[in-house]
């Protein structure tokens, strides 16, 4: 496994619609393993293949696994979701505002409106169908990562964006 470089908005791969995953071969498995190692090293809660300069529709999502997170997120804390070709198939009418950051845009935060609850479908890392219902922070992370697959960054839809301050860093904002 290898830690991959995370690209920034000046790399055109980040702004293009990613290609559907067609093969779940050894090369794809290595990509997923490398993305996981990169996500854990960053550290972040989500990573899309375009963020590591690979134009494929695959995302990894993993909420924190510390004691506070286990209390807040229950069984979702620390659970790794690998989803190829994800699609949001259902979204709540309820929209919630939240603060987001991104591994591809270090040092900035933004306020973004997202659906409170979503259901997504796609394929797991082995090409088997998967359907995930998510709410709250998990739903936000999935929406953020799926946006990456369409070449969209949170700064494109944020109400406001600001440079991180020491106060922001003291708060527990997770990089998505």
Please answer whether residues 45 and 103 qualify as being in contact, where contact means their C-beta atoms are separated by less than 8 angstroms: no
Residue 78: per-residue pLDDT: 86
Average pLDDT for 131-142: 97
Q: What is the pLDDT of residues 78-116, one digit of tens each?
A: 889 999 999 999 999 999 999 999 999 999 999 999 999
- 28 domain-assigned: yes
Q: Which among 76, 100, 145, 175 is annotated as catalytic?
A: 145
- 175 domain-assigned: no
Average pLDDT for 123-143: 97
How high does pLDDT run on average in the chain?
93
- 1 domain-assigned: no
CATH number of the domain to which 161 belongs: 3.90.45.10
- 78 domain-assigned: yes
Closest CA to 114 of 132, 130, 91, 131: 91
- Specify whether 145 is catalytic: yes
Q: What is the pLDDT of residues 3-54, one digit of tens each?
A: 999 999 999 999 999 999 999 999 999 999 999 999 999 989 999 999 999 9
- 4 domain-assigned: no
In sequence order, the 6+-apart residues with CB closer than 8 A to the CB of 9 are 15, 104, 105, 153
The radius of gyration of the chain's CA atoms, rounded to the nearest angstrom, is 15
Residue 19: per-residue pLDDT: 98
Instruction: Report which DSSP code applies to 73.
Output: H
- Rounded CA-CA distance 58/120 in Å is 13
- 45 domain-assigned: yes
Average pLDDT for 117-135: 98
Boundaries of domain holding 81? 12-170
Instruction: Name residue 120's beta-bridge partners.
Output: 88, 132
- 165 domain-assigned: yes
Number of domains in the chain: 1
Residue 171: per-residue pLDDT: 59
Please answer whether residues 142 and 124 qualify as being in contact, where contact means their C-beta atoms are separated by less than 8 angstroms: no
Residue 13: per-residue pLDDT: 97
Place of tokens 């804390």: 77
| Helix, strand and coil percent figures for the chain, each rounded to 5 | 30, 30, 35
Place of tokens 């067609």: 22
Please answer whether residues 16 and 151 qualify as being in contact, where contact means their C-beta atoms are separated by less than 8 angstroms: yes
Q: What is the pTM of this model?
A: 0.92
Residue 128: both structure tokens together:
């088997």
- 6 domain-assigned: no
């Amino acid at each position: 496994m290898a830690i991959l470089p995370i690209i920034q908005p000046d790399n055109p791969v980040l702004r293009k619609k990613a290609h559907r995953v067609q093969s779940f071969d050894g090369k794809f498995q290595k990509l997923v393993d490398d993305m996981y190692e990169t996500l854990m090293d960053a550290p972040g809660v989500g990573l899309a293949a375009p963020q590591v300069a690979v134009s494929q529709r695959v995302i990894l999502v993993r909420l924190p696994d510390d004691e506070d997170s286990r209390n807040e997120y229950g069984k979702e804390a620390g659970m790794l979701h690998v989803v190829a070709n994800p699609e949001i198939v259902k979204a709540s009418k309820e929209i919630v505002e939240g603060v987001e950051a991104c591994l591809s845009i270090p040092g900035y935060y933004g306020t973004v409106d997202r659906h409170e609850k979503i259901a997504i479908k796609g394929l797991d890392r082995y090409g088997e169908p998967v359907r995930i219902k998510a709410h709250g922070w998990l739903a936000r992370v999935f929406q953020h990562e799926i946006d990456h697959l369409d070449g969209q960054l949170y700064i494109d839809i944020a109400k406001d964006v600001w440079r991180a301050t020491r106060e922001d860093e003291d708060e527990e904002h997770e990089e998505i």
